[in-house]
Amino acid sequence: MMPKQELAYHVGDQVVHWVYGLGEIIQLDEKKLSGKPENFYVVNIRDMTLWVPISERGERCLRSLTPANDFQKLFGILASPGEPLSTDRLERRNQLAERLKDGTLESICQVIRDLALHKRIQKMNENDNAIQHRALSFLLDEWSTVLSVPVQQADHELKELLGAGVLAA
């Protein structure tokens, strides 16, 4: 039986995991690790189930969905001129990883915008493409969910904000 404690999230809450993206808390669970009981959020993300510790450590991995009224600010970030990224692939990888560390949709939008600019200037490498794909997936999933629009509509609107053809493969 789980002890009473103040929970940041509850069963049925939609959350964003900083690595895996949008999911839903489907239950609270207790498991013994090294003989010690620990409480977990059980989070369903696409076809995967994660056990995230109900602790400060675990809750740093999760965040609530971005409120709908924050999307105008995010659209402004996406439509603004990008900031140039390093031309050195290793520096660029570190630069992008650092920006994505906080897991906020604001950081994700900045990365998408800046990679779109980078793609106009220079050929993207495998890591750039992987980061762009992951960031786009996170943004479009949350955009679609929060604003109740189909993913295809969100994708179309995103491309308009960034400029036609920027994200074309």
End-to-end CA distance of the chain: 51
Task: Please report the pLDDT score of residue 167 as a whole number.
Answer: 45
Task: Please report the pLDDT score of residue 49 as a whole number.
Answer: 95
168 domain residue, yes or no: no
Task: Please report the pLDDT score of residue 96 as a whole number.
Answer: 95
41 domain residue, yes or no: yes
Using only C-alpha atoms, the chain has a radius of gyration, in whole angstroms, of 18
Q: What is the largest CA-CA distance in the chain?
A: 57
| 41 and 23 belong to one structural domain | yes
Task: Please report the pLDDT score of residue 55 as a whole number.
Answer: 84
Rounded Cα distance between 135 and 128, Å, is 11
Rounded Cα distance between 92 and 105, Å, is 20
CA atoms within 13 A on the CB side of 26: 11
| 85 and 137 belong to one structural domain | yes
pLDDT in tens, the chain (169 residues): 454 567 889 999 999 998 899 999 999 999 988 889 989 999 999 999 999 999 877 778 899 999 999 999 999 999 998 899 999 999 999 999 999 988 899 999 999 999 999 998 899 999 999 999 999 999 999 999 999 999 999 999 999 999 843 443 3
| 50 and 80 belong to one structural domain | no
Domain of residue 139 covers: 68-162
- What CATH number is given to the structural domain containing 140? 1.20.58.1290
Task: Please report the pLDDT score of residue 107 as a whole number.
Answer: 94
- What CATH number is given to the structural domain containing 32? 2.40.10.170
For residue 95, list its beta bridge partners: none
| 113 and 34 belong to one structural domain | no
Evaluate whether 43 touches 17 at the Cβ level (below 8 Å): yes
